[in-house]
């Protein structure tokens, strides 16, 4: 989605981690929101027929390992005030 923003005046709302990662490699800005969004909980969902699929089990494990290694939202300085001081 972020590549569609390059060179336009379009706006997109996405997770801050995703936006900041995109801004490291694309010429886009990540300005602070003028309001506070509520925290969102992420979850994995799959159909029960995939419960025992080896590939699906592997993928779920990889995703959980990565998620466990991420800092919680409370640990990230991502408030509007904190983002306003960043030059991206």
**The pLDDT of residue 76:** 54
Number of separate domains in the chain = 1
Domain that holds residue 75: 2-84
* Alpha-carbon separation of residue 46 from 4, 58, 61, 63, 77 (angstroms): 29, 13, 13, 13, 32
**The pLDDT of residue 26:** 94
**The pLDDT of residue 2:** 87
Distant-in-sequence, close-in-space partners of 30: CB < 8 Å, separation ≥ 6: 16, 19, 20, 23, 83, 86, 88
Phi-psi bin for 38: left (phi > 0), alpha (psi -120 to 50), beta?
A: beta
**The pLDDT of residue 73:** 61
Which has more confidence, 7 or 75?
Answer: 7
């Amino acid at each position: 989605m972020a590549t569609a923003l390059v060179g336009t005046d379009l706006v997109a709302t996405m997770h801050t981690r995703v936006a900041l990662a995109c801004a490291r490699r694309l010429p886009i800005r990540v300005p602070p929101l003028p309001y506070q969004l509520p925290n969102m909980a992420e979850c994995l969902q799959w159909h029960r027929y995939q419960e025992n699929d080896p590939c699906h089990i592997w993928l779920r494990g990889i995703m959980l390992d990565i998620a466990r290694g991420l800092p919680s939202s409370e640990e990230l300085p991502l408030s509007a005030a904190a983002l306003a001081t960043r030059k991206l």
